[in-house]
Amino acid sequence: MTQPRLLVISALDPSAGAGMLMDLKAGRAAGASLVGALTAITVQGPGGVRAVHPVESGILKAQIETLADELPIGAVKIGALASDENVKVVARFLRSAPKIPVLLDPVIKPTRGVSLMSREAVEEMTRKLLPNSTVITPNTLEAELLTDMDIDSETMMIEAGRKLLDMMGGDGDRWALIKGGHLEGHPVDVLVGKNTVRRYHSKRRPGEFRGTGCALASAVAAGLSIGREVPDAVKRARRMLIRWMDKAPAYRDGSPRRLRP
């Protein structure tokens, strides 16, 4: 029987440090078979995002519909969408496939460079994609934008996760994984479910890394596509990401470290 695919919907980073190419690499390493629908072409390198050129929404719609018509989709991973029209296309698709697990990685603003989403697109994403998502994986800066909270501690990460669950609404399993790498001290990620809070502590690695959020989210989504429960998928994805970070080339000359499988 054909293995269900993880459908990745995200933007192209030509340097392969993040975005679609990182999503595909991480998802494959985590055990998924993958297909992808491109939302935008960015102009970027290790120094950051210089420009974003959204794919026309009709082309995005055609990509998604063709893949969903011809292949079994086991889960969907959503990354940068780049425009409010693209958000609407993805929302319509998710409503047509309500039983497929969906991981939303709300990529709004990269660590370096221009924003990947307008304010209008962020508002559309909050209203139309959150209620159709199984898991949301913001970093603390993105969680602040979505919840209008100040997040400066592990306690506030948990509160933000609970607020995001309220915003997601609906019945069934919903989860918020708040990534804490932007906070001071040793990083902690927090997974918040309806009746569950799990904390994942790790040590701070020297230097700045590119693509960690994309890699972690895609590895979690890969687990969902092959039937893993969310906490197990998160645990395995974090273990993989930490291995990749430990293999990353040494930090030099202010350049971000590139993840290495």
Residue 86's domain is classified under what CATH number? 3.40.1190.20
Structure tokens at 34: 């993958």
> pLDDT at position 255, please?
77
> pLDDT at position 252, please?
66
- Mean pLDDT of the residues in the chain: 92
> pLDDT at position 1, please?
60
> pLDDT at position 258, please?
81
Residues of the chain with pLDDT under 70: 1, 170-171, 250-253
> pLDDT at position 170, please?
65
pLDDT digits (tens, 9 = 90+) for 157-170: 999 999 999 999 86
pLDDT digits (tens, 9 = 90+) for 200-240: 998 888 888 888 999 999 999 999 999 999 999 999 999 99
How many domains does one find in the chain? Answer: 1
> pLDDT at position 47, please?
82
Range of the domain at 160: 5-258
